[in-house]
Amino acid sequence: MNLFCKKICFILLVAVLAIDTVHANTNADTAKMTMISNKFGNLKFNLRGSGPITIDWGDGTVETKRLTPGIITYSHHYSNRSQRTITIYGQNITHLTCDGCRLTSLDVSDNPALKYLRCARNRLTNLNLSRNTALTNLVCDNNRLTVLDLSANTALTILQCSGNQLTSLNVSRNSSLINLICDGNQLTSLDASNTNALMFLNCRKNKLTAEALNALFGTLNGTKEEGKILYIRNNPGTNTCNKSIATDKHWKIDTSFI
């Protein structure tokens, strides 16, 4: 091979490596989470994971940080209630807590590494988790959710969605679920089929009729694990449902206030 050919091969090799580097950087940039808020004062959220992250606070401030295995709190002060979009970039963010941040939107769909999400006490009307297949813990209490699709979140073990506006909830794809707390919604149906690991279910303060409660009892697991407990107080059918359907499956039914 003459010198000219060697030079051409070298140039082509450098070009290929450069393209691969660009693709790698592009992929890194696509791992992100965004939130929209108009909070005045200090906005705080917690993150856990590994590697570098970049936080764009939506007001011209951009910070680069490095995550650690422990939970770290990040905060920023806003002097007005202007609506702004906050973007968090990072490949290995596994934990996000953003309670009480006056969020009207939260998009975590471009962060497939997320395992723990807590976004309670916000103003969310929608939460798309269809791409967060690694998610194990979800706490989204006291928002304005009318629909919660968890069919893709088969690793979920803890679900707490109290105080929303849900009219139905289906967790039949969440076979690893252990704790389910969905009180204070407007549920008229609840399907807990295939949740053989379920040990705790609180569905108080909903709109479940006796027929709906009986249907729920029919979907509960019949494992003989001790300590399975079901709270059903303040539903239309609490006093007239057939509780033996659940107790025959080794569930303790508690109609008291907790």
Note the pLDDT tens digit of each residue in 167-218.
999 999 999 999 999 999 999 999 999 999 999 999 999 999 999 999 999 9
Confidence at residue 256, expressed as pLDDT on a 0 to 100 scale: 75
For residue range 102-137, list pLDDT tens digits in order: 999 999 999 999 999 999 999 999 999 999 999 999
Structural domain of residue 153, as residue ranges? Answer: 3-254
Q: How far is the CA of 36 from the CAs of 39, 80, 215, in angstroms?
A: 9, 14, 39
Amino acid in the structure at residue 238: T
Q: What is the mean pLDDT of residues 5-32?
A: 45
CATH code of the domain containing 189: 3.80.10.10
Burial 159-168 (b: 16+ CB within 10 A, else e): bbbbbbebee
Q: Report the sign of the C-alpha dihedral through residues 40, 58, 104, 138, in that order.
A: negative
Q: Assign 86 a pLDDT band (cuts: 50, 70, 90).
A: very high
C-alpha span between 217 and 122 (Å, rounded): 32
- Supply the pLDDT for residue 138: 98
Contact yes or no for 232/204 (Cβ under 8 A):
yes
Phi-psi category of residue 163: left, alpha or beta, with phi > 0 → left and psi -120 to 50 → alpha: left
Give the total number of structural domains in the chain: 1
Name residues whose C-beta falls within 8 Å of residue 95's C-beta, 6 or more positions apart in sequence.
46, 47, 48, 49, 71, 114, 115, 116
Q: Calculate mean pLDDT across residues 83-93.
A: 96
In the prediction, which pLDDT does 257 show?
A: 59
